[in-house]
């Protein structure tokens, strides 16, 4: 038997690696095109109603009551403004349950002082596991507000405490540092009105508040972030929400609802045990658990994304903090993927197993390491003369040029269907950013995700420090 020479082995290995790099890039971009087409279809058939007054007239009488759950950890700067704006939401029947998750700053005292709170007794059942509650507070001046103080247990633990205390059939998980538009609940509740039996969860759009004019927890006017990092994230959020989530919602394969703004049927969330502990991707994990639970029981259900309800969030403005956030998101996605890995491609889980989990596999699990491998190998091999120009161009096309198309296309969707960017100059700037982000930012983002993968493999836990300036100063 003749053994192949080392040169032939090296060459064929390189060929295989390059084939994998190109094939993964093609699969990723194929998914993006599919998402675009589906998102366009969805927006064309379900055009959001812009007139809030009309929505109120149409739905106020039949809107289900909602409990807003607001976990707060060291939010002293903004908690009173955030809760005040939530209490002023334009929705017929809701309560706000703020959970102080053992903050080490003056979050609890700020709420006590800001709303004149006093300890109260509230009847509740331990519906889902969480750290013991220390005290429940209420105020006759703000009958819709309940504040609970508990030992620190993390975001999922705080949300579970909120689920325990809530009494309405639907709860809405909202980040304490986020701002909801006044009619966000009215819009987000629509799937629960149209299909109250089958709808178990609804997600809404998150947008970046940096650069907007904000006063007392309300967005007064839209503006773009002043930093390049903020602008990159603005385009990223548009792509993620207006394209990816809307598309998967149309296909009924949505595997994530952002922790910053998501509505769930309380009974279903309790049935799956509430938010899981020991993961930083508790928002995705809850959605996947619900899919699994409903599919295991062969129940007909809907998890929907609505493009219009806008929740504004403060984006990190420093590379270090953003890097930590992205690594954590990556870790969260991997934790959920491997916890529920048996759902992948299993016929029992239908399109969730094939499309939903297939997407996570290609984009979150395989995508980052293979793309980074491509960045290292392709230019080097081309430089050494071991790679044809065709290979180089194909790789550049898949990683740079196609990225421009995807980013600009999500901006096109936004402009045609929603028009939430009021100034033409802002629109032009975002178009420029959609091009530029593919040269540098996308690659750095991949490195952060790779770090997330590394942290996951090493069993890293925890959130890391998220320093914020607070909306008061934006």
Partner 1 sequence: MLLSGIWTVSLGFAAVSLATMLVLILTRAVSGRRARRKAEQREMLLLALLGWLEDGGAENGAAIRRSLARDGRLATGLLTEVFEIVRGDGQLRLAALAEEAGIGEWIRRALRKGPVRDRLDAAEALIWFPSPKTTEALRLAVSDVQDDVSFAAAATLAGFGSELTLDERLLERLGRFGSSRRIELVLNRFAAQRPDALVDVVLDEALSDRVRTVALDAVTQTGLPGTLELLLSLEASPSADIRVAVARNLGTLGHPDGAPTIGRYLTDDRWEVRSKAAEAVGRLGTIELGPALCALLLDENWWVRHRAGEALAKLGDLGIEALNEMAAIAAQTTLGQTATHILAERNRSAA
* Site residues for partner 1 per CB under 8 A: 22, 26, 29, 47, 49, 51, 53-54, 57-58, 61-62, 64, 120-125, 127, 138, 140, 193-198, 388, 390-391, 393-394, 396-398, 401-402, 404-405, 408-409, 411-412, 415-416, 419, 424, 427-428, 431, 435
* Phi, psi for residue 290 in degrees, rounded to 5: -65, -45
* Phi, psi for residue 71 in degrees, rounded to 5: -75, 135
Quick one: 377 or 412, whose CB is closer to partner 1?
412
Quick one: 416 or 469, whose CB is closer to partner 1?
416
Query: To which residue do tokens 């997600």 refer?
Result: 203
Chain center to CA of 314:
13
Q: How far is the CB of 409 from partner 1 (least distance, A)?
A: 5
CB 206, CB 292: distance < 8 Å: no
Handedness of CA 426, 438, 366, 252 (dihedral sign): positive
The C-alpha angle with vertex 193 and arms to 52 and 183, in degrees rounded to 5, equals 25
CB 328, CB 452: distance < 8 Å: yes
Quick one: 51 or 134, whose CB is closer to partner 1?
51
* Segment (H or E) for 72: strand 66-72
The CA-based diameter of the chain, rounded to the nearest angstrom, is: 89
* Strand 133-138 relative to strand 179-180, pairing: unpaired
CA Rg value for the chain: 23
Q: How far is the CB of 341 from partner 1 (least distance, A)?
A: 31
Quick one: 113 or 194, whose CB is closer to partner 1?
194
Q: How far is the CB of 243 from partner 1 (least distance, A)?
A: 12
Query: To which residue do tokens 């889902």 refer?
Result: 128
Quick one: 227 or 431, whose CB is closer to partner 1?
431
Quick one: 8 or 54, whose CB is closer to partner 1?
54
Q: How far is the CB of 158 from partner 1 (least distance, A)?
A: 21
Q: How far is the CB of 33 from partner 1 (least distance, A)?
A: 8
Q: How far is the CB of 32 from partner 1 (least distance, A)?
A: 10
Residue 310: strand pairing partners: 205
């Amino acid at each position: 038997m003749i053994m192949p020479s080392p040169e032939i082995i090296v060459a064929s290995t390189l060929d295989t690696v390059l084939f994998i790099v190109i094939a993964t890039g093609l699969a990723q971009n194929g998914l993006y095109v599919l998402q675009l087409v589906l998102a366009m279809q969805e927006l064309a058939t379900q055009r959001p109603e812009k007139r809030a007054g009309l929505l109120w007239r149409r739905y106020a009488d039949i809107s289900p009551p909602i409990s807003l759950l607001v976990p707060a950890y060291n939010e002293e700067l903004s908690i009173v403004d955030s809760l005040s704006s939530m209490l002023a939401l334009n929705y017929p029947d809701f309560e706000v349950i703020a959970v102080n998750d053992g903050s080490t700053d003056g979050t609890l005292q700020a709420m006590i002082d800001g709303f004149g709170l006093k300890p109260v007794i509230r009847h509740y059942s331990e519906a889902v596991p969480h750290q013991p509650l220390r005290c429940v507070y209420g105020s006759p001046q703000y009958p819709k507000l309940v504040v609970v103080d508990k030992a620190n247990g993390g975001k999922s633990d705080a949300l579970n405490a909120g689920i325990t205390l809530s009494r309405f059939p639907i709860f809405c998980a909202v980040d304490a540092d986020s701002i909801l538009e006044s009619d966000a609940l009215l819009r987000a509740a629509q799937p629960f009105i149209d299909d109250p039996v089958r709808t178990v969860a609804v997600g809404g759009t998150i947008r970046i508040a940096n650069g907007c004019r904000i006063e007392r927890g309300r967005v007064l006017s839209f503006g773009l972030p002043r930093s390049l990092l903020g602008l990159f994230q603005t385009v990223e959020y548009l792509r993620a929400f207006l394209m990816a989530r809307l598309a998967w919602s149309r296909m009924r394969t949505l595997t994530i609802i952002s922790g910053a703004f998501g509505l769930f049927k309380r009974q279903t969330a309790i049935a799956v045990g509430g938010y899981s502990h020991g993961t930083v991707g508790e928002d995705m994990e809850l959605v996947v658990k619900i899919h699994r639970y409903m599919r295991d029981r062969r129940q007909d259900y809907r998890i929907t994304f609505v493009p219009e309800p806008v929740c504004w969030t403060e984006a990190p403005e420093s590379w270090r903090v953003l890097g930590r956030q992205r690594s954590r998101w990556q870790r969260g996605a991997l934790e959920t993927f491997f916890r529920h890995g048996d759902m992948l491609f299993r016929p029992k889980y239908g399109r969730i197993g094939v499309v939903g989990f297939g997407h996570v596999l290609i984009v979150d699990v395989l995508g980052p390491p293979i793309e980074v491998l491509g960045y290292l190998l392709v230019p080097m091999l081309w430089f050494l003369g071991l790679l044809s120009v065709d290979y180089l161009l194909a790789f550049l096309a898949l990683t740079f040029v196609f990225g421009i198309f995807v980013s600009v296309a999500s901006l096109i969707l936004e402009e045609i269907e929603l028009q939430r960017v009021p100034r033409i100059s802002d629109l032009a700037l975002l178009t420029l950013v959609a091009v530029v982000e593919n040269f540098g930012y996308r690659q750095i983002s991949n490195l952060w995700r790779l770090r997330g993968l590394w942290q996951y493999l090493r069993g890293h836990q925890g959130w890391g420090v998220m320093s914020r300036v607070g909306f008061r100063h934006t």
